[in-house]
Structure 1
Amino acid sequence: MKIIVTGSLGNISKPLAAELVQQGHAVTVISSKAEKQPEIEALGATAAIGSVEDVDFLTAAFTGADAVYVMVPPSFTAMDSRAYHQQIGRNYAQSIQQSGVQRVVQLSSWGAHRSEGTGGILGTHDVEEILGKVPGIALTHLRPTSFYSNMFSFIGMIKARGIIGVNYDGNTRVAFVHTRDIASAAADELTTPATPGRHVRYAASDERTANEVAQVLGAAIGQPDLQWVGLTNEQMQENLVRHGLPAARATEIVDIYASIGNGTLGEDYEQHKPRLGQVKLEDFAKEFAAAFKAAL
């Protein structure tokens, strides 16, 4: 198969491209950075250098493909992240339709079924809706749960205050996922025929309470008494802004975590649980411990 992967050599796209190449597929990786071309080619893939904000470039890259994996790259300059997601979603929709590609896998998120109350995930909901209007395609919304890698943001607080503080309490049970398990799920979807229409697949690696997270991470870093402390939304907002996050972006994050705590983010996941992936919390804890040791 000829498969197009967006997302350059990111934490999902790189292992995804590598897995697809190993399976014998002809893979093209889209990147906005020409300096990534040698590394892309070292994987055995073809590099297509251009921007996801360029519809003509995307259309040319998608033309002739059997399947495409689309994701919205993070933007550190967009003033309105939801509007940014909507624009990239429209670019993808136009390019998919103009190129004639029939199989599409979109990197979405759990909570994307909701049109309100999920903060920074609302833009991803909008992309689902935009792509869902493209006629005739077999579209999978791949919805990963909370990324293990988000836990790296706890390192500074642990070093400074000896706690993990987030605006949901320690008894909250959360589904977590490793990017390698997301990549495996994406590879499976891209290479499996699907009927036209919209399909949803969740990706998760483990389900643990927040208190268990603190226990496992604490043991890995030599702090067995590490505690998970539930913060108020206001405390969470203040902490994020104090550490340099713009207020609007901080509010998006606060709303995401609040929706985990009140159960709305995971309500659809609970009805459509996937088979859990291979990377468990204890496995990720080794990565966390290495990052914790390396951090100043």
Structure 2
Amino acid sequence: MKIILSGSLGNIGKHLTIKLINAGHDVTVISSNADRKTAIENLGAKAAIGSVSDSDFLIETLTNADAVFAMTPPNLGGANVIVNTENAGKSFAKAIEKTGLKRVVMLSSIGADLPNGTGPIAGLHKIEEIYRNLNTSVTFLRAGFFYTNFYHDIPMIKGAGIIGSNYPADIKIPFVHPEDIAQAAAEELVQTSQGKNVRYIISDVRTPGDAAKVLGTAISKPELPWIEFTDEQALEGMTQAGLPEEIANLYVEMGNGLKSGKIAEHFTTSKASVDGKIKLEEFAKEFASNF
């Protein structure tokens, strides 16, 4: 199959590219960074350098393809993040319609069933709504909270000896490892299923308190505490770390959505399976090696 992947060679893209190349597929990887061209080609894939917000570029790239893995950058610009995310989805939709592409796997998120109150996830909700009107087969691959987000907490752990956010230690959060997302995407891209389908990809369901204990133990800090910050404290910490205020506010809103349980509610009530293989304890080994 001729398969197009967006997301360059990031946490998901590199694993997915390797899986599909090893399975014998003709793979093209979209990247906005021309410096990635050689690395992409070294994996045996073709490189398409351009922006996922450019529908003409996408039309050219998707022509004669069998399937596409469609994802948008998580923080598309420092401002107007939701609008920019939605516009990238519209560009993809235009290219999909124009080229008559038959199979789409969209990287979405837990909470994408909700129109608001979910921070940056709201942009993915808008894209799901756009793709539901496409005359093609679409799987919405709703991923859990990335384990790799914990890497952003390393300065806090080293500087203050704590880890935390604006939600408590005892709520249950569906987590996912990027490698498990890549595996699920590889499976879905070659499916011939019809219509619109939702698949959750979750590696483990744990509490932030579990995460603090398991990660702390892995880095020889077994008493590492999870601290629930106020919204104001979380916002101040993120902006002081250099995050644009709009994005920081969206993350605060997402934290409240996790705290209330509504972001994970559809996953929980739908009794979707936990398909991912990489549990928190295994990720902790990676975390320790990068600490």
Into which bin does the TM-score normalised by the smaller protein fall? over 0.9
Identity of aligned residues (%): 46
Structure 1 residue ranges, 4+ long, deviating more than 3 angstroms after superposition: 74-78
- Give the RMSD, CA atoms, in angstroms: 1.3
Is 1:150 the counterpart of 2:149? The answer is yes
* Partner residue in 2 for 1:240: 238
Shift of 1:75: 4.5
Letter in 2 for 1:201: R
Moved more, 30-39 or 175-184: 30-39
**For 1:91-137, what per-residue CA distance to the aligned partner results, in whole angstroms no more than 9, with x for missing partners?**
00000000110100111111010001101111111111112222x20
* Partner residue in 1 for 2:113: 113
Distance 2:202 2:106 in 1: 16
Distance 2:204 2:53 in 1: 35
Which secondary structure state, in structure 1, belongs to the residue aligned with residue 262 of structure 2? coil
Distance 1:89 1:237 in 2: 28
Which secondary structure state, in structure 2, belongs to the residue aligned with residue 171 of structure 1? coil
Letter in 2 for 1:85: T
Is 1:140 the counterpart of 2:134? The answer is no
* Partner residue in 1 for 2:24: 24
Is 1:283 the counterpart of 2:287? The answer is no
Distance 1:163 1:34 in 2: 39
1:78 and 1:84 in contact (8 A); partners too: no
Which secondary structure state, in structure 1, belongs to the residue aligned with residue 163 of structure 2? strand
Which secondary structure state, in structure 2, belongs to the residue aligned with residue 118 of structure 1? coil
Letter in 2 for 1:160: G
1:12 and 1:179 in contact (8 A); partners too: yes
Distance 1:123 1:152 in 2: 24
Distance 1:123 1:168 in 2: 22
* Partner residue in 1 for 2:251: 253
Which secondary structure state, in structure 1, belongs to the residue aligned with residue 150 of structure 2? helix
Distance 1:143 1:218 in 2: 28
* Pairing partner for 1:221 from 219, 222, 225: 219
Matches within 5 A, 1:1-296: 1-75=1-75, 77-134=77-134, 136-195=135-194, 197-272=195-270, 273-292=272-291
- Which ranges in structure 1 are unaligned for 5 or more consecutive residues? none
Relative to the length of structure 1, the TM-score reads 0.94
> In structure 2, do the counterparts of structure 1 residues 78 and 209 end up closer, same or farther at CA, with 3 Å as the change threshold?
closer
Which secondary structure state, in structure 2, belongs to the residue aligned with residue 266 of structure 1? helix
Relative to the length of structure 2, the TM-score reads 0.96
Shift of 1:275: 3.1
Q: How many pairs were matched up? A: 290
Distance 1:32 1:249 in 2: 21
Letter in 2 for 1:62: L
Shift of 1:234: 2.0
